[in-house]
Amino acid sequence: MNSFEVSVPAIGIPFVARGLRALIAGIKIAAARAPCQHAPMGKPELDTMEHCACSSVSVTARGRVLSMLVCSCLDCRKATGTGHSGIAIMRREDVKISGKTRHFDRLADSGAWICRHFCPVCGTPVFATTTRSPTLVLLPVGLFDNPNWFAPTQAIFSRTHLHWDTLPEGIPQYQNYRPQ
Ligand SMILES: [Zn+2]
Ligand SMILES: [Zn+2]
């Protein structure tokens, strides 16, 4: 249940004190059941199950998001069908995948292999792994129904960024990867 499902019924109640109380109660419930809480350092804590567009594949994410970024590399542009992807990075042990995925491997400029998994039925990108950081998993933010917690702190592969594509303001942009 998300915040909209909780609060919408209350909006139909006539605007009297009782209705207002119901609306406030709905907002409180929505806040309590939000799929994440912002932790110190701006890294959200997730506890949520998400699905690909056809629901053949489920992703359960429980734990801290370690990093959030946007990427304008050619592969992300092809995977999303637009100018950049939004990516949340978590520990592998905090993410469980149910259902079959297909994948393909690409050799990145860094020399690392990137393995991109997608739903074989609907084609939704589901997750990716990289030999650059083998303990981590990359989750496409478009997979989440309600990713209000997403706040990217860097933009990578700006060398292939498209001028018409809007990126978040005020975050550092790197030609390739952020230097490690
Ligand atoms: Zn699917
Ligand atoms: Zn990319």
> Domain locations in the chain?
1-34, 38-160
pLDDT in tens, 90-110: 999 999 999 999 999 999 877
C-alpha of residue 180 to centroid of ligand 2, in Å? 17
C-alpha of residue 108 to centroid of ligand 2, in Å? 9
C-alpha of residue 143 to centroid of ligand 1, in Å? 11
**Six-digit token string for 20:** 């207002």
Write down the pTM of the prediction.
0.77
Compute the distance between CA of residue 81 and CA of residue 84 in angstroms, rounded to an integer. 8
Q: Give the ligand whose atoms come closest to the C-alpha of residue 119.
A: 1
pLDDT in tens, 58-70: 999 999 999 999 9
- pLDDT at position 64: 98
111: which residues sit within 8 A by CB, 6+ positions away? none
- pLDDT at position 14: 37
Under 8 Å between Cβ of 180 and 156: no
- pLDDT at position 165: 95
C-alpha of residue 157 to centroid of ligand 2, in Å? 7
**CATH number belonging to domain 38-160:** 3.90.1590.10
